[in-house]
Amino acid sequence: MTALPQTTQKKLGLVIDLDTCVGCQACVTACKGWNDAGIGLSDHDPYGAEPHGTFLNRVHSYQVVVEGAPAQVVTFPRSCLHCDNAPCVTVCPTGASYKRAEDGIVLVNEDACIGCGLCAWACPYGAREMDAAQGVMKKCTLCVDRIYNETLPEEDREPACVRTCPTNARHFGDLADPGSAVSRLVAERGGYDLMPDMGTKPTNKYLPPRRKGPGDASPLAPLLDIRASGIAGWLDRMLGKL
């Protein structure tokens, strides 16, 4: 089972638009809520001095010092990238960690997980968090219990993080299909992989922030030399237009 499938029929994944993400954390708690109700994500010492809990999606906030321009701030959601060449799968001794042949989703079969943590070590992206209460590894399931869930209205069959995102910075779809909306976004906006040198071949892609800076409107030309003509001259010129 921990062998990776040769190919997957689909590559379901997320495209995250860093030009649009405002860092509101909505996806973080929507994910937490949905998966807490499903697979259970515990919180330890929730009202105490050192709370810590399991979350499958985290949003970071970075500042970027840019050459010759003001520094920027980029908020950055981070969750499982459902890699084609997922190192978290092959290291698993029990087969609990696996990648689905039909859609490429990387999952943990909790019934087989021994909680050794090796998969989390193998993942460069910090996509996995061990649940302290259950002792098994948790990770983004791409809401596999939503996207195929016929008890939900069809329009709701998308990951909770995507459904809730107020700015629509998160897109869900099949990245194996070059004609899909997500694939087109990646092509148009230069979607990229995180740490490509790690050889993981992530499915999820990130869209870079667009170029920032002043616009290119041509400077306004004064109507006339107001100091010379006075306000009266300005009024004549201006209202003569009417």
CA distance 104 to 173: 12
Q: Is 154 in the site for other proteins (CB under 8 A)?
A: no
Neighbours of 201 (CB within 10 A): 13
- CB closer to other proteins out of 179 and 219: 219
Residue among 120, 105, 137 nearest 39 (CA) = 137
Angle at 76 between CA 205 and CA 190, to 5 degrees: 35
Residue among 139, 138, 156 nearest 147 (CA) = 156
- Binds other proteins (CB under 8 A): choice among 13, 84, 106, 113: 113
Q: Is 178 in the site for other proteins (CB under 8 A)?
A: no
CA distance 3 to 90: 6
- CB closer to other proteins out of 16 and 176: 16
- Binds other proteins (CB under 8 A): choice among 81, 169, 176, 186: 169
Q: Is 172 in the site for other proteins (CB under 8 A)?
A: no
- Binds other proteins (CB under 8 A): choice among 142, 163, 174, 182: 163
Task: Considering only the stretches 7-15, 107-115, 175-183, report the one whose residues sit in contact with other proteins under the rule CB under 8 A.
Answer: 107-115
Task: Considering only the stretches 7-15, 154-162, 174-182, report the one whose residues sit in contact with other proteins under the rule CB under 8 A.
Answer: 154-162
Q: How many residues bind other proteins (CB under 8 A)?
A: 140
Hey, what are 127's tokens?
Answer: 């996509």
- Given CA atoms 18, 21, 25, 30 in this order, what sign does their dihedral have? negative
- Binds other proteins (CB under 8 A): choice among 7, 181, 201, 208: 208
Phi, psi of 13, deg, nearest 5: -170, -175
Window 28 to 57, contacts with other proteins (CB under 8 A): 28-30, 32-34, 37-38, 43, 45-55
